[in-house]
Amino acid sequence: MASDSDALALPGRTPGWLDKERSIAAPGYNRWLVPPAALAIHLCIGMAYGFSVFWLPLSRSVGTTCTADMGTLALLFATACDWPVSALSFTFTLFIVLLGIAAALWGGWLEHAGPRKAGAIAALCWCGGLVIGALGVYTHQRWLIWLGPGIVGGIGLGLGYISPVSTLIKWFPDRRGMATGMAIMGFGGGAMIGAPLADKLMTYFAAAGGAGVWQTFLVLALVYFGFMMAGALGYRMPPPGWRPAGWAPPAAAQDAMVTQRHVHLSKAWKTPQFWCIWIVLCMNVSAGIGVLAMASPMLQEVFGGKLISVDAGFNDLSAAQKGQIAAIAAGFTGLLSLFNIVGRFFWASLSDRLGRKATYFCFFVLGIALYALTPSLGHAGQVALFVGAFCIILSMYGGGFATVPAYLADMFGT
C-alpha cells in the first residue's frame, strides 16, 4: 500500500543520478564536503529576503499611476499604468506562504526521494519562477510576477530550505546545532549578496533604457540555477547506521523542561504546548518579515535626500540622486541580512544558557520597545539609530527561527 508521503510525491520521473540510492557516500567520504553544497542552495534561495530592491523600480517603470477606481481584476491585468508597491510586495507574501506549505507537504517525501532530487526540483522551481517573473515584467503583467517568483518560486524555496537541513543533521549528529546553523545561515545571508548584486545589475541594464528588472531576473535565474544544481549534485547521504569516528550518543540530560521521549506529530499538535510555540514563532516571524518585505523602499521614502545629505523628500530628488539612495537602501537590505545571520547564532546559543522560554520573552520585550521607538527615530531623521533598531529586530527574527527547533525538540523529542 502506498504511504502518505508517496501520495504527495511530485509528478514525473527524474534521471537515475538524482535518486537517493545514487547519493549514498562511499566509505571514507569527508562529511565536510556537504556543508558547501547546502550553502550553495541556501545562499541562492535566500535572495527571497532581498526582493524589496525591485519594488520601487517596478512601481515607476511606466510613468503613469493606476487610478483608484480601477477594479482588482483590472489592476491585475493592467499594462498601461504603474503598480503600487503594496501590490508588488504581495509577491513576497506569496513565496513565504508557499515556502511553508511546500515544506510541510513534501517534507516526508524528501526522506524517501533523497536530497538530490529535492534540490534539483528546488532549482527548477526557484529559477523557473524568476524566468516567469522576467516575462511578467517584460509584458507588464502583474499576475505573472505573482505566479512566477510568488507561487512557483515559493515551492522551490520550501524544497530548497528543508533539503540541506535534513541532510546535514544526518552527517553531524555530534554537532547538530552547528550543522543546522550553517544551512540556515546561508538562507539568512542570501540577500546580503543578492540585493547589492541585483542593484548593480539593474543599474547596468537600465543604461540601455527601462528599469533593468526583467534582465536582472534572467541573469539571477541563470547564475542561481548553476549554483543550485551544483549544490544538489554535491549532496551525499551517509550509509545506514553511520556515525562519526569515536562518537557515541550522549546520555540523556535530566531536565524537567526537556522530554526523555519522542512524541509523534499526530499527538504533538493536539497539545496546547505545540500551539503556544507555533503562535509565538508566528508573531516573531511576522514582526521581522514585514521589515524584510519593505526594507529598501521604507528607507528611501522615510529619509529621502537625508541619506545623501540633501534636504529634499524622495519625490523631489533627481533620477541620479534616486539611484544613489537606491544603492544605499540595497546596502541596508544586505545589512539586515547580516544581522539575520548573526542573530541565528547569537540567540540560539544564548537560549542554551537562558532557556528557550526566557529567550522568546526577550524577543517580545525588545521587539515592542524597538517597534514603538522607530517612528520617532524616522521623524527625527536619526538614520543610524533607525537602522540599528531594525538590525536588532532582524537579529531576533533570525534567532526565532534558529531557536524553535531546539524548543520543539525539548518539548517533544527529535
Q: Is the dihedral of CA 71, 73, 78, 83 positive or negative?
A: positive
Domain(s) labelled CATH 1.20.1250.20 in the chain stretch across 30-243
Nearest to 286 by CA among 165, 396, 375: 396
* Cα 121 to Cα 400: distance, rounded to the nearest angstrom: 28
φ, ψ at 25 (rounded to 5°): -70, 150
> Going by C-beta distance under 8 Å and a sequence separation of 6 or more, which residues neighbour residue 368?
none
Residue matched to cell numbers 528611501:
300
Q: Give the number of other Cβ atoms within 10 Å of residue 241's Cβ.
A: 5
42, 183 in Cβ contact below 8 A? yes
Q: Which three cell numbers stand for residue 2?
A: 502506498
DSSP 309-371: T----GGGS-HHHHHHHHHHHHHHHHHHHHHHHHHHHHHHHHHHHH-HHHHHHHHHHHHHHHH
Distance of CA 169 to the CA centre of its chain: 20
Q: How much is the pTM?
A: 0.75
CATH number of 30-243: 1.20.1250.20
Give ∠ CA 371-177-155 in degrees, rounded to 5: 70
pLDDT in tens, the chain (414 residues): 344 444 444 444 545 777 777 888 888 888 888 888 888 998 999 898 888 888 888 888 776 776 666 666 766 777 777 777 777 888 888 888 898 899 888 877 887 888 889 999 999 999 999 999 999 999 888 889 999 999 999 999 999 988 887 788 788 777 766 666 666 777 777 888 888 899 899 989 988 777 889 999 999 999 999 999 999 998 888 888 888 887 776 665 555 555 566 777 778 888 888 898 889 888 888 888 888 777 888 888 888 888 888 888 877 888 888 888 888 888 888 788 888 888 877 887 788 778 888 888 999 899 899 999 999 998 888 989 999 999 999 999 888 887 887 787 778 876
